[in-house]
Amino acid sequence: MSKSKVALVAALTAVVATASLVVTAVGSAKQHDVFKAAWIYVGPHNDGGWSQAHDEGRLAVVKALGSKVETTYKENVPEGPQVSQVIDSLVKDGNKIIFATSFGYQDAVLAAAKKYPTVDFEMATGYKTATNMADYYGAGEDAIYLSGMAAGAATKSGVVGYVVPFAIPEVIRHTNAFALGVQATHPGATVKIVWTNSWFSPATEKKAAQSLKAAGADVIGQNVDSPSAGQYSESAGLPWVGYDSDAQKFAPKQWLTGAVYNWGVYYIPRVKAAMAGTWKTGSYYGSLSDGFTKLAPFGPLVSSATKAAIATKLAALKAGTFDEFAGPLYDQAGKLRVPAGKKLSLGDLMAIDWLVKGVQGSPKG
């Protein structure tokens, strides 16, 4: 290295060091007495799907509690060793409640809950709890069932494609609900599934939708997070059922509807409780009734007869007079899994590993 270059490097180092000092100073000036809450997302905060729905919940907290709370989020956090590091840094930054919003974070969150007993942890879609770690999710399957009804009404060939991420109970439960909804409006229909092995992967989701169309599907549904299968459906002229967020703008003609979540319903009271020191662990399971989950607005292809049929089922689900997982339910091989008069309990649904009759594809991914 020549002399001039040494000087250049030294100058650069000095600039960077000064800049970081300035940044630290600004950061510490902001340290006043506000309550800090943090969210961890598996995709970008504006993914047009799952993570975006969580971020809208975070913004609902900001709106409800204003300057009393300071929220942050970490996005694109993979379900791996990075989760622990992200949690460590969030705790170090003074966050007192942390919402982890993807299933694969669970074990890292449980470990962190042990490590940081004074921080409240919230694990979305999980099933493990601790004194300072709660679980939360909700009956997305009920809204997904209703969205499946729209797909069933739209299919002519009787084959509906469904793009699915990982073979875990949550997704299998949703797939079953979707298929049962399809069959409610199109008896005997099949639902073909393709696993993408990723929650959020736009190009892969498009590939999956393309392959489903080539295999005979004339309606596409999804349990993955990006709207790219919808963009493909729009260009290929296939009706599309979305998921997580109202994504009609990505497929204005072909959008049918989609199950969506309102996480704010849960986030606001939980952050309030944590601020007041009254936070307690638990397992929340939201529903159509408390506004946690609902159906997004319908697109132009949905007929009024279909809308009426969905409205009837929605009322019955809310009233508790209908349960999509009531028997008789058969599995893919035609074996009776749930006899008439019985239904799957929440516990069964949380561990479900078999697909209902009419679904084509492996429940193992």
Partner 1 sequence: MNNSILVVVLASAVTYGTPLLYSALGELVAERSGVLNLGVEGMMLVGAVMGFWAVQTIPGPGPLVLILSVGVAAIAAGLMALIHAFLVITLRANQIVSGLALTIFAGAGGLSSYLGNDLNLADAPAKHAFGAFFPHGMQTLPVLGPIFFEQNALVFVAWVFVAGVAFYLARTRPGLNLKAVGESPAAADAMGINVTRYRYIHTVVGGAFAGIGGATFSLAITPQWVDGLTQGAGWIAIALVIFAFWRPALCLVGAYFFGAFAGLPFTLQARGVTIAPELFQALPYVMTILVLVTVSAAGARRRLGAPGALGTPYVREER
Contact residues for partner 1, defined by CB under 8 A: 5, 43-44, 46-48, 52, 75-76, 161, 192-197, 200-204, 206-208, 210-212, 214-217, 226-228, 231, 235, 249-250, 360-362, 364-365
CA torsion 187-307-141-261 (nearest 10°) is: 160
**Least distance from partner 1 to the Cβ atom of residue 117, Å:** 31
278, two tokens: 């009254």
**Least distance from partner 1 to the Cβ atom of residue 133, Å:** 28
Among residues 292, 305, 304, the alpha carbon closest in space to that of 261 is found at 292
Give the residue with the Cβ less far from partner 1, 276 or 333: 333
**Least distance from partner 1 to the Cβ atom of residue 363, Å:** 10
Give the residue with the Cβ less far from partner 1, 129 or 210: 210
Give the residue with the Cβ less far from partner 1, 127 or 195: 195
Give the residue with the Cβ less far from partner 1, 48 or 126: 48
Q: Is 207 left (phi over 0), alpha (psi -120 to 50) or beta?
A: alpha
Q: Is 243 left (phi over 0), alpha (psi -120 to 50) or beta?
A: beta
Residues 6+ apart with CB under 8 A from 78: 42
Which residues, listed in sequence order, are joined to residue 285 by a DSSP beta bridge?
A: 137
* CA atoms of 246 and 124, how far apart (whole Å): 20
Among residues 114, 82, 140, the alpha carbon closest in space to that of 259 is found at 140
Give the residue with the Cβ less far from partner 1, 84 or 360: 360
**Least distance from partner 1 to the Cβ atom of residue 33, Å:** 29
**Least distance from partner 1 to the Cβ atom of residue 226, Å:** 6
